[in-house]
Structure 1
Amino acid sequence: MSTTKLAKEPEGTEPTAAPALLELRDLRVFYGAIEALKGVNLSVREGEVVALLGANGAGKSTTLRTASGMLSPRSGEVLLRGERIDGIKPHNLVRFGIGHVPEGRRVFARMTVRENLEMGAYRFKSPDQDEMDRIFGLFPRLAERSSQLGGTLSGGEQQMLAIGRALMGKPELLLLDEPSMGLAPLVVQQIFEILREINQQGTTVLLVEQNAAQALQLADRGYVLETGTVAMHEEASALLADPRVRAAYLGEIAE
């Protein structure tokens, strides 16, 4: 990946728009003495797919972990529909309508596919069979392997299972961290087609993805992080056409 630097986004350039489903305000997050997020501002409107791009170490996964309650900011705010949720534990945030698919899938290896999916519905008294059927419709491979142990699935199947497990919680907002990592191109294409369908069915998506071309083709808007700060924020089509983005993340030579 190129190390081309992007011009920093001026303060106050966030466009006026509909109220945000998720909003991050001036987030500062530390790992010990290391500042991972340095005043990040980001919003996701209902019904959108928003892509979060950046090199390794830019703060993308930290942003998702903070939004889902896995990390606590030292300062700043996380708001869902205008209400602060920073400080709420992750298992309780699921009840607020947030689902998080972490990097690395992390399926329950010794549970079956069906049991993994049922675990995703833990906030309900019992799993919703209609939701299970919807997920099996989205991921027919999981239906075929419903009694197979999660740890015996292929990488692509485990990614499908991780997404399906999060969907069993009926999230309004799905946070996805590197869904294409380590997968063959054909499987990546399939995953992104399913993500498009999930969004069309009403789930808002905040997506962290190294595959910038796939992410921006799916997304409505995108943010580019550099060393813990927002360097760019544009409509996805504008980012995809931007020569700086193409040089830094699509391997093209900047003119």
Structure 2
Amino acid sequence: MLLTLANVEVAYGAVTALRGVSLEVAEGEIVTLLGANGAGKTTTLRTVSGLLRPRAGQTWLDGRPLSSIPAHELVGRGVSHVPEGRRIFPSMSVRENLLMGAYHDRRHVRTDLGRVLALFPRLAERIAQPGGTLSGGEQQMLAIGRALMSRPRLMLLDEPSMGLAPMIVQTIFEVIAEINREGVAVLLVEQNAASALRIAGRGYVLETGEVVLAGTAASLLADDRVRQAYLGEDVGGRTTAG
């Protein structure tokens, strides 16, 4: 198993954010985390990427405890994190932002840059522009492209569709699926549950820091609780959300 969390607890001071969370991501699969705001999804990703340390439980990457790997070394071990809000460098050019993703190993920069620009032609057109002048969708492409420059085996994606127009959202999900077809495993946090479950193989539902549902994407799409809470349907299948 590429990634394993077992009974993980994480706290912010006196506030417990994760309570006994267990999940797995195998090589080359897409797993999505669903849940309302504050459910613990972002905390889970930050724990995997080493930005937070569990108070209890175990985390493993390739069978090695994540607690023994400093956060800055995880990139070199194949973990990349695209945070919520993109977090690009606004004053740096598109090219410079992308090159920052390859800081730990620059041996394949030319090849990887060509691959990213082929995946995101809009970035190729704006290669010299400051990142801060890009649209929201283009900035999301840039954030994903920067993560790809590190040649990840596991990509952590936090709300990649947030605030984007529907046409751009579709493009982003198509790109995530393409990245996965190239062999990159994805742990995806996404409010757009329907789109996430369409490309994922499995999923977990978090509520107040606990996993309350887990299963294949197909089984979650068919689950009345998921349909009602995250897909905007009532149990009879009628749309309840606008």
TM-score with structure 2 setting the length: 0.96
Once the two structures are TM-superposed, the CA of residue 241 in structure 1 deviates from its matched residue by 1.4
The sequence identity of aligned pairs, in percent, is 62
Secondary structure, aligned partner of 2:37 = coil
- Structure 1 residue 127: Cα displacement: 5.4
Superposed displacement of residue 75, structure 1: 1.1
Which of 143, 157, 167 is the matching residue for 1:186?
A: 167
Out of 224, 227, 245, the residue aligned to residue 226 of structure 2 is: 245
- How much has 1:85 moved relative to structure 2? 1.2
Aligned with residue 97 of structure 2, among 94, 99, 116: 116
- Aligned residue for 2:83? 102
Matching residue of 2:62 = 81
Question: Gaps spanning 5+ residues in structure 1: where?
Answer: 1-19
**In structure 2, the residue corresponding to 1:86 is in which secondary structure?**
helix
Q: 1:69 aligns with which of 47, 50, 56?
A: 50
Aligned 8 A contact 1:72 1:87 in 2: no
Question: Which residue in 1 is equivalent to 2:133?
Answer: 152
State the superposition RMSD in angstroms: 0.9
Q: Which residue of 1 aligns with 2:239?
A: none
| Number of matched pairs | 236
Deviation (angstroms), 1:128: 1.6
Specify the code of the residue in structure 1 equivalent to 2:95. R
Amino acid at match of 2:7: D
Amino acid at match of 1:153: L
Question: CA offset at residue 125 of structure 1?
Answer: 3.9
Secondary structure (helix, strand or coil) at the match of 2:11 reads strand
Gaps of 5+ in 2: 237-242
Deviations 1:106-127 (A, max 9, x none): 1000100000000000001455
* Higher mean C-alpha displacement, 80-89 vs 56-65: 80-89
User: In the alignment, residue 21 of structure 1 is paired with which amino acid?
Assistant: L
Residue of structure 1 equivalent to 2:240: none
Matched, 1:229 2:210: yes
Q: Which residue does the alignment assign to 1:219? A: 200
Q: Residue in 2 aligned with 1:49? A: 30
Report whether the alignment pairs 1:32 with 2:9.
no
Q: State the alpha-carbon separation in 2 of the partners of residues 125 and 57 from structure 1.
A: 37
Alpha-carbon offset, residue 221 of structure 1: 0.2
Give 1:174's aligned residue. 155
In structure 2, what is the Cα distance between the partners aligned to 1:37 and 1:90?
Answer: 19
Rounded to whole Å, the distance in 2 between the matches of 1:52 and 1:85 is 20
In the superposition, the TM-score normalised over structure 1's length comes to: 0.91
SS of residue in 1 equivalent to 2:167 = helix
